[in-house]
Structure 1
Amino acid sequence: MKEAGELVWLHVDETCVVVDKPAGLLSVPGRGEDKQDCAAARVQARYPDALIVHRLDQPTSGLLLFARGAEMQRAFSYEFMQRRVHKRYVAVVEGLLPLDGNWHEIELPLIADWPNRPKQKIDHAAGKPALTRWRALSHEGQRTRVALEPVTGRSHQLRVHLMAIGHPIAGDALYGNESGAERLLLHACELTVGALTVESPVPF
């Protein structure tokens, strides 16, 4: 069991660095002196050419990809833009979803909820397209463990989509309630880009 706040180094080569980000650590620096410790700063302290390609929300744990240099950052960013990067998450959500073994889709457009930043919201008129695939894995009391695959990569997409179908992620103080969970129960467990696949065990 890794210590809280520890960054785990999972893959390093000449093109990229993949780390396992703990819950509670920012992906990139925030505003203010107290928000400078982040995954990007820690990775760049060891690999100064490392540039962030995508982000995880602060309360989300799991796999984070950094490119080695600007050229690789452009290449990886293009792969994300073309939706050729496969990402899988595991979450525990409130309520019971059907254990039918099938993948289901949530397709609801998202936009920033400006008066309530950093929240996002569903907006059928002005929102950007957003698509999430989900499959129920098991029931855990009155909760369901689910596999999630974001086809698009909107801010807070998984959290808003699951809230929208009535099953907020456990521990989500922003979109649901903390409901006794010590943290947001959302973890980025698998990342595939090109020939590289990296996996991270789910810590909950």
Structure 2
Amino acid sequence: METHCNLDAFNILYQDEILVAIHKPAGLLVHRSPIDKHETQFAVQMTRDAINKPVFPIHRLDKPTSGLLLFALNADAARHLSNQFMTHSIEKTYLALCRGWTPENGNIDKPLKYQKDKIVDKDKRAEEIFQDAFTHYERLATTQIEHKMGRFDFQRYSLVKLQPSTGRKHQLRRHLNHISHPIIGDVQHGDRNHNHFFNDWLGYHRLYLAATTLKFTHPTTGEQITLTAPLESSFKQTLDKLWSNDTLNKLLE
């Protein structure tokens, strides 16, 4: 299933003399990839064209993940911010819609097998390497829907806040699947029956995972910066079907 990309959801969230942050729509690649040769739009290119300046990617979001993406506008700032990511001093927050009712909160401390990039790592030995991976989660809300699936007449779902302190490939998607609460819309690590249910019910072909907040130290001023991104309309409209507006507004404040 290919995630539909709504390019209208692309916008600039923050900009100063050395930083720019955007909202990346679900389905948009961060940069050109040999694996997705058919793609013609990329977050790097769109941001550069929007501000008429070269941009330096600091981190990545998976293609199907929407939300906050940060760029530097010069090499020195890029190195400074990249170091903050490498030392895990940047605080990242995501929202996810998951199958089942998760525990109220917890920590997932599970090393993940290194996943080779088919292009970048093609010459590396295929030895098994496990990397430390740590995710804190907090359940924000639960709901259930009357819909028969297998032996169950009702289906349960949780809205979860995720804060990874490491940045492994597909970490959040793999960690949620590990605790048996996969993210809805996750083709690789999720539950296809629940994915199909949401696709058929609402018609949004997307992963329900969004990067919503970044907290970091500004490379030149030393100021603590907190950036936030609103949920993409397809994500928000799905939550509106599951919870009342009053409940959502309190949760997403």
Same fold flag (TM > 0.5): yes
Larger radius of gyration: 2
Q: Is the 8 A contact 2:95 2:211 kept in 1?
A: yes
Q: Which of 158, 161, 166 in structure 2 is aligned with 1:152?
A: 166
Matched residues in 1 for 2:112 and 2:95: separation? 21
Q: Is the 8 A contact 1:171 1:180 kept in 2?
A: no
Which of the numbers 7, 11, 28 marks the counterpart of 1:8?
11
Q: What is the CA distance between 1:115 and its match in structure 2?
A: 11
| Corresponding residue for residue 55 of structure 2 | 50
Residue 139 (structure 2) pairs with residue 136 (structure 1) = yes
Aligned CA RMSD, in angstroms, stands at: 2.1
Taking the aligned partners of 1:163 and 1:68, their CA distance within structure 2 comes to 36
1:122 aligns to what?
Answer: none
* Cα separation, 2, equivalents of 1:23 and 1:164: 23
Decide whether aligned partners of structure 1 residues 116 and 134 sit closer, same or farther in structure 2, where only a CA change above 3 A counts.
farther
* Counterpart in the other structure of 1:189: 212
Distance 1:136 1:55, change over 3 A: same
Gaps of 5+ in 2: 120-127, 145-155, 199-203, 218-223, 236-253
Matched, 1:163 2:177: yes
Q: Is 1:16–1:68's contact at 8 Å kept on the other side of the alignment?
A: yes
Whether the 8 Å CA contact 2:114–2:131 is kept in 1: the answer is: no
Match of 1:17 among 20, 35, 44: 20
Residue type of the partner of 2:226? T
**Per-residue Cα deviation, 1:107-150 (whole angstroms, up to 9, x for no partner):** 11112455999xxxxxxx73110000001111122110000001
Runs of 4+ with >6 A deviation: none
Q: Residue 46 of structure 2 aligns to a residue in which SS? A: helix
Q: Equivalent residue of 1:192, what SS?
A: strand
The residue correspondences of 1:55-134 to structure 2 (distance < 5 A) are: 55-99=60-104, 103-113=105-115, 126-134=129-137
* Separation in 2, partners of 1:116, 1:72: 29
| 105-114 or 84-93: bigger deviation | 105-114
Q: Does the CA contact (< 8 Å) of 1:170 and 1:179 recur in 2? A: no
Identity fraction in percent: 35
Distance 1:36 1:69 in 2: 25
- Three-state SS of the structure 2 residue aligned to 1:138 is strand
Q: Contact between 2:115 and 2:169, CA under 8 Å: does it hold in 1?
A: no
Q: How many residues are treated as equivalent by the alignment? A: 192
- Give unpaired runs (5+ residues) of structure 1: 118-124
AA partner of residue 39 (structure 1): A
- The 1:202/1:115 distance shift into structure 2, 3 A limit, reads closer
**Distance (Å, rounded) in 1 between the aligned partners of 2:180 and 2:196:** 15
Q: Residue in 1 aligned with 2:242?
A: none
Whole-Å separation in 2 of the counterparts to 1:16 and 1:57: 21
Higher helix share: 2
Q: Give 1:104 deviation, angstroms.
A: 1.1
Alpha-carbon offset, residue 49 of structure 1: 2.5
Mapped partners of 2:94, 2:58: distance in 1: 17
Describe the SS at the equivalent of 1:168: coil
